[in-house]
Every structure is written in C-alpha cells, then in structure tokens.
Amino acid sequence: MTMYMNDEKLKKMPQAVEIEELVLSALMTEGKAIEQINLKADDFYLAKHQIIFTAIQRLQSRFAAIDMFTICEELNKMGELENIGGQYFITGLAIRVASSVHLVSHSEIIKQKSIARKLINISAHIQDMSYDEQTDVSDVLEFFEKNITDISVGSSKCEIYSMTESLNETIRYIQTIQANAERGIKTSISTGLNNLNQYINGGWTAPDLIVLGGRPSMGKTQFAVKFAKEAAKEGKKPLFISIEMTKIQLVMRMITENDLIDYYKIKTGQLSSEEWRLIDLMINQIADLNINIADGSNVRELTNIKSMARQMARKGDLDLLIIDYLQLIKTGLKFGTRDLEIGYITGELKNLAKELNIPIILLAQLNRPQKGVKVSTPKLEDLRESGNIEQDADIVLFPHRPSYYDENAVDADGNSWKNRGYIVIGKSREGERDKKIYFEHDERFKKIWDANQTEAPF
C-alpha cells in the first residue's frame, strides 16, 4: 500500500527514500555501525531497500564482515541480487557517503516515517471495521490497543529465524544476564521467599505465566499482595488487577499487617490515637511502593485487562502483572463449556506475557474438598474448570495450610502445623516439580515469611 485516499485527495505515504539510501550506504561503509541503530527491514519504504537491509542483518547475525562485496554475495545466496538491481545498484549505494556520522539521526527519520505509515494503515482498517455492522465494537478496540502496543513496544509479527540466528540471539541473551549480574542487576523479580526463589530460578521471569492455585481461605490474595510488595521494593512496577476485592480492601490488608492495628476497630470506627499513629507508620512504609491497582466494575473483562496492561507497558510502567482471580474473568464470547472459556483466557494471558515480555501471576480457585473427605495436598487435577491451565502455565504453585482444616494437624515429625504451611510446585517448565516450599505466618495470616527465619518481618 503506497497511497491513501483522504477527503478525496490523493496523498503519498510518508517516506524518505534518499535517507534510506544514505543509511544503507553508511552500513556498507562501516558495517559495525548497524549496532548503533534500531531498525527493522519493514521500516524501509522501498521493497529493494528492505531486502538489502535483511541481507545486512543476516551477515550481522553470523558476525560476518559487512561491505558491498559480502552484501552482494549474501543477496546472491538469497536469490535476490538481480531483483534489487544487481551489483551495479549496490555499488551505486556504496559510493553515496563515506561516513556513518549521521547514521543515528537518519535512522530515526526512517523509523518516524515507518510509524506514520503504520498508523495510517491502522486507522484506515479501524474505519473499515467501525463501518462494518457485523463487527463488535469491542473487537475494534482490541485491534486498536494491540496494534498501537505493537508499534510502541515492537512488532508482534511472526518471523522465521535460522538456527544460527537463534543461537546468536541466545548467546547474547546469556551474555546480557551475566553482564547484568556482574553489575548487580537482577533479571528476575524476587518472590520475597528465598526458598521459593531457589526453585524457580531466582524469582519471577518474563514471559512466564504463573498460576497460583488454592482452595478458599488458603491465602492466595495475601500471597499476591506479598509478591506485589516485594516486586515494588526491588524498584519494579507491578499492576494488581483485583476482580474480587476493591483497592480499599487490598490497602487495608497491607495496613493491618501490623499486629497492633485491629481490623474490627477500623471497620467500626473505634480507633485510638495510638492506633492512628500506627496506621500513619504503616502508610509511610507503603506509600512509596510503585504498585498500581486496577479497580472498577468492568475490570473483570478480558479485553479490559489486556488493554490496561498494554497501556501501562507503553508508558514503561509495567514489570509484573497480578490478576486475582482466573474464574472471575469474563470474555463476552460464547463457548460450549466454561472449561473452553477458561482455556481461551489462559491462552490469551500467556500470549500477553510474551507480547509485553513480562511475568503474569494468575490466581486460580481449586475445587472445594468433599464433605467428610480428608483434605489432601493440592494437585494439578484439583484446578477448578481447568481448561488448558496446565498446558498454558509455565509455573503452577499451590499454597496449603493443613491446620486450617484440622487445628491438631501435625507433620511427619509430629510438629504442629499451626502458623505454618507449604507451597507445592505443581509444575515448572524450567525447574523441579512436586517440591514443597515451607513458610511461616502470623495468627491472622497477614504476614508470610520463610520457614526457619530467625525473626518474623515487621
């Protein structure tokens, strides 16, 4: 598409062909300069320029020399040399400039023109969809949000890579992790439980979909609050999408972590001046945590969840997404069974994690135990309306507190389970499974910490 009709006037698509030639010429002159720019082949307007840039990228991926001779050879291997005008055209490009001094600014112009073309095409498509009476407006909004995010955070178009290209990118990924570690920069987000971190490769990592499944009153939401706080303490930016609870209820949970603050007195308006002082103290502790909370009557809609996440990601304000909880999410679509709808939701959230390159923690309800039946350790098959949860999830965790069901419960060594529990790793793509991670908690289950920790956190 090179032309666009608007108000009956024929307009040229935004383009900068001469600058594209200058950039390609500079890359032929100084091949290593490609590392200075952030362009993709489809950012170029002319098809032959796209092909040449692709050849340069292929050479770069193999750490090969980049000059007009190697580019001609690569184009010949691709079967494209004659299609772009042969060696004569490449030679003509190579002699345009002799320096990459303006390469970065020139590449930014090309990127700007590319984005402008994409916006024009997207807006034209949105108009077509909006005029179509058969198209639901929510689909139009979904198309808009996704494509705007694709432009902002990188194209979501599927691409095919050779094994050499994939290996080189993998090595660069490993080198980046090593370099960050040497500078004290973590690539994972701590869970706040050191024992759990050890079994899931240091903490939450992108683009994992983590399912936190538990029976009612097992503390799923309290774990989610802890995970959000720990991420924020590391300087990360979590978004907490609370379908079941309001933002006030969530913040109340954080405030009442202090044992001396009585929840009943808050709810009945009987706080003393000392208790108000303690509330001020807790507020000072959590006020600077960069946690965003999504609240409202429409927060349960899947399209709204994805839209909010994309908006935050575009602003650079999203490192971790927490959703409480799966079975309350609605799609507005018709499915034969709820299992199929749940499978659709988990698949969409896994795709969102990959699209935004963030970890997503998804809380899920387990089936209630039958009356009179001894409650056993949770398993994958206990996931309520499981759909494709097991297939889509990278990690599945089950918090369990035996003393909740039997206050006299003891472990294999005869020790009481009071104020203790464990998390079962039901699934881990890159780690061990069926492991139990032990934790301790206070009487009201407002604070959670590692088992055998010498002192409970304030």
pLDDT surpassing 50 at residue 3: no
pLDDT digits (tens, 9 = 90+) for 259-293: 788 888 888 888 889 989 998 988 888 888 899 99
Quickly count: other Cβ atoms within 10 Å of residue 196's Cβ. Answer: 20
pLDDT digits (tens, 9 = 90+) for 297-337: 788 888 889 888 988 888 889 999 999 889 899 887 777 78
pLDDT surpassing 70 at residue 1: no
pLDDT surpassing 80 at residue 34: yes
Band of pLDDT at residue 458, cut at 50, 70 and 90: very low
Residue whose token pair is 């990601």:
313
User: Could you give the 3-state DSSP secondary structure of residue 272?
Assistant: coil
- Nearest Cα neighbor of 294 from 233, 245, 365 is 245
Contacts of 322 (CB under 8 A, 6+ apart): 224, 227, 228, 238, 239, 240, 241, 360, 361, 363
Which residue pairs, CB below 8 angstroms and at least 24 apart, start in 133-138?
138/303, 138/332
pLDDT surpassing 60 at residue 9: no
Contacts of 204 (CB under 8 A, 6+ apart): 188, 189, 191, 210, 227, 231, 320, 359, 361
| Concatenated DSSP letters of 318-336 | -SEEEEE-GGG-B-S---S
pLDDT digits (tens, 9 = 90+) for 412-450: 888 889 989 999 999 888 777 788 999 988 887 888 888
pLDDT surpassing 60 at residue 4: no
Q: Which CATH code of 3.40.50.300, 3.50.50.60, 3.90.1170.50, 3.30.420.40 fits the domain covering 188-450?
A: 3.40.50.300
- Average pLDDT of the chain is 84
pLDDT surpassing 60 at residue 27: yes
Q: Where are the domains of the chain?
A: 3-153, 188-450
Contact 441, 455 (CB under 8 A): no
Counting residues of the chain whose pLDDT is more than 90, the rounded percentage is 28
pLDDT surpassing 50 at residue 5: no
Q: What is the predicted pLDDT for the residue at 201?
A: 83
- Nearest Cα neighbor of 211 from 1, 426, 455 is 426
Contact 45, 17 (CB under 8 A): yes
Q: Which CATH code of 1.10.260.40, 1.10.860.10, 3.40.50.720, 2.60.40.1120 fits the domain covering 3-153?
A: 1.10.860.10
Contact 400, 422 (CB under 8 A): yes
Query: Rounded to the nearest 5°, which phi and psi values hold at 362?
Result: -115, 115
